[in-house]
Amino acid sequence: MVERIDLHKHLRLHLVTDSALCGARGIEAVVEAAVRGGATCVQLREKALDRRPFVERARALKALLAPLGVPLLINDRVDVALACGADGVHVGQRDMAPEDVRRLMPPGSIVGLSIESAAQMIAAERAPVDYYGLSPVFDTSTKTDAAPPLGLAGVRRIRAMTMRPLVAIGGIGFENAAAVMAAGADGLAVVSLLCKAADPADAARRLRQLMDGTP
């Protein structure tokens, strides 16, 4: 576990992995470069990988990220998170219930929950989660079963409904990052922007500058 996790700090720029988009470079190389450029959290998402190679990949990323103080979250799979000693789990509306995730994970683990609408937000406030992933904010091609986009108005509406951290995902790019932050997001989660980048470190650096309002 990463010691003394600061959610506001560590969820600022959240890299969600996609092994196909990383290509021949491999996930580890892309993750290392993105963290060097300013990514503050990594979520390992593997929908097609069998359990054993999933755990092996998760352990390799944990070994890479732990010395850097960067949390590793596992998408959906609590069994993989427990096997590799991940810092937390992110679940969607159709995955394991957050209450069950919290009960199974060690104390201090991060639990995130995807929110696709204001109606889901109302029920989620009773759940034992640490942050919400607003999904998707804009149209995205990296999640084929995504709900209709929330848009900036949806981000603002949900921001007014909760004090918990909001991490926006879906169609986030250089052209809209600042607007999403201004609408009330505490952090951004990206997939293709970093996984497909020719230089993930430079892409992460540019995105952080836009998010943080620095030249």
- 162: annotated binding-site residue? no
- What are the tokens at 193? 């922007």
- 135: annotated binding-site residue? no
Answer yes or no: are the C-beta atoms of 139 and 149 closer than 8 Å: yes
- 192: annotated binding-site residue? yes
Q: How far apart are CA 207 and CA 20, in angstroms?
A: 22
- 19: annotated binding-site residue? no
Q: How far apart are CA 176 and CA 151, in angstroms?
A: 11
Q: Are strands 13-16 and 88-91 parallel, antiparallel or unpaired?
A: unpaired
Q: Give me the active site residues, please.
A: 45, 114, 143
- 114: annotated binding-site residue? yes
Using CA atoms of 30, 31, 32, 35 in order, give the dihedral in degrees to the nearest 10.
Answer: 120
- 140: annotated binding-site residue? yes
- 93: annotated binding-site residue? no
Residues annotated within the binding site for Mg(2+) are: 76, 95
Residues annotated within the binding site are: 43-47, 75-76, 95, 114, 140-143, 171, 191-192
